[in-house]
Amino acid sequence: MDFSIKAFDTKNTIAAAKSGCIAVAVFDNKKLSQAAKALDQDGQISAAVKSGDITGKPGSTLLLRGVGAAARVLLVGMGSDESISEKSFASAVGGMLKAFSQLGAADAIIALPMEDVKERDAAWAIRTIVCAAHESVFRTDGQKSKKDPAPAGVRKITLATQSTAETKTALLQAQAIANGMDLTKELGNLSANVCTPTYLANTAKKLARDYKFEVEILERKQLEALKMGSFLSVTNGSEEPPKFIVLKHMGGKSKDAPVVLVGKGITFDTGGISIKAGPGMDEMKYDMCGAASVLGTFRAIGEMGLKLNVIGVIASCENMPSGRATKPGDIVTSMNGLTIEILNTDAEGRLILCDALTYAERFNPAAVIDIATLTGACIVALGNHNSGLFARSDDAGEQLAAELMAAGKQSSDTAWRLPIEEAYNEQLKSNFADLANIGTPGGASVTAACFLENFTRKYPWAHLDIAGTAWKSGGAKGATGRPVPLLSTFLINRT
């Protein structure tokens, strides 16, 4: 997709614009948007609306020809003109893009009321359009022997809005975030026999070459020297070598403390000896979506040239059963010296993350955020709409949580905060080790976060549980690219 911005005015009118298609909004009370009125010189648009050929319901569309200088005009329902909601605007964009995909035109002008969405600005509308456009053409046939038919329709889009520094920046950021989401989705959707820990490491190396990042890949012997006994315990049953990936984007001042993003990279999770049920196990290739979102965010900030120091840390391996696999009841020693009784080998994400979080201490970070498909309990609590957000209730934790919540709302990639309290640590007590890797029944997503909190007390920290938001199941099965928008917006706001 190719995007640009162009302002139309009384001298450079939209009615005189030559394009394969111009999309304009109509409302459910039969009113026309300003752009629609400017095109309605011969009354065709008014007649179509009055006749009921289009209702104005959000997402409804009607294609007209012979209106203005454009080959086509697409009327797009926008709901109420009194207050355009985010949902109505997003539905309108979805309907418009579906119509675009069926046109014989290669280019189009989008002249929707981007400045009129309630409590939003043109920058938000630009981001919504660009990310939705990328999603509309995203392909999942990379591993098919016969590819799906190449999509036709619009490929060059002009956004009709004021060309200012703010809107130009918004467009650049939107394209970078959308490209980062595409990478995250591509990695998530790959089969686990292709997207191995080595594949993730090679992806990080390619990003480093493309965007001048620093990269370091730690192998098993180095992890053993670092005494990452918890991480390594998860790798015991697999033939695939573990990889510990460190990416550095040092775009800020040399003395500025970095933000560290820590991603869970379990490229396939059988559950280990505590093996999962067969139905749906294929979706455990998505257990590396935390790692994929870190890589996608790095692509976004690399494209933006973000003036901030950001470090990505990814612990990646498989969780497999074998004669060498870790057993329930085994006790391992983590990098920071705490011993862990492994009561369930399917609670493996926290075992790799705890050593990664300890490793993050060496960067003297301004903040650390870990991103993980950690618990099914988070899906029970929040469904598939919000990621789970956890942070301590001290001043630093409150500030970090507030920033992430605000970035989620700003980017429409929302999170909901859940508690971390000392009382939950009681559920993690073990008779034989410092901690158990699972808690007693109840509040499983909270006790998982509390387990991680034990390894984060030397810096401000937040945890994002994306088990419910990283991918979709059923007929729409596929990675979503979340929370790349949230993370990218959070980092943008820190510059």
Query: How far apart (Å, rounded) are the C-alpha atoms in residues 142 and 462?
Result: 35
Query: Which contiguous run of DSSP H or E holds residue 465?
Result: strand 461-465
Beta bridge partners of 311: 248, 260
Catalytic residue among 139, 276, 417, 458, which?
276
Q: What angle do CA 193, 369, 168 make, to 5 degrees?
A: 90
Query: Across 78-210, where does the E strand assignment appear?
Result: 107-111, 156-160
Query: How far apart (Å, rounded) are the C-alpha atoms in residues 489 and 487?
Result: 5
Question: 384-401 in b/e burial notation, b at 16+ Cβ within 10 A?
Answer: eebbbbbbbeeeebeebb
Catalytic residue among 185, 248, 299, 350, which?
350
Beta bridge partners of 22: 73, 109
Query: How far apart (Å, rounded) are the C-alpha atoms in residues 155 and 133?
Result: 9
Beta bridge partners of 26: 32, 77
Q: Please, what sign has the CA dihedral across residues 285, 291, 296, 297?
A: positive
Query: Across 42-147, where does the E strand assignment appear?
Result: 61-65, 72-77, 107-111
Report DSSP letters for 202-253, one per residue.
Answer: HHHHHHHHHHT-EEEEE-HHHHHHTT-HHHHHHHTT-SSPPEEEEEEEE-S-
Q: Is residue 350 among the annotated active site residues?
A: yes
Question: Which amino acid, residue 292?
Answer: A
Q: Which residues are catalytic?
A: 276, 350
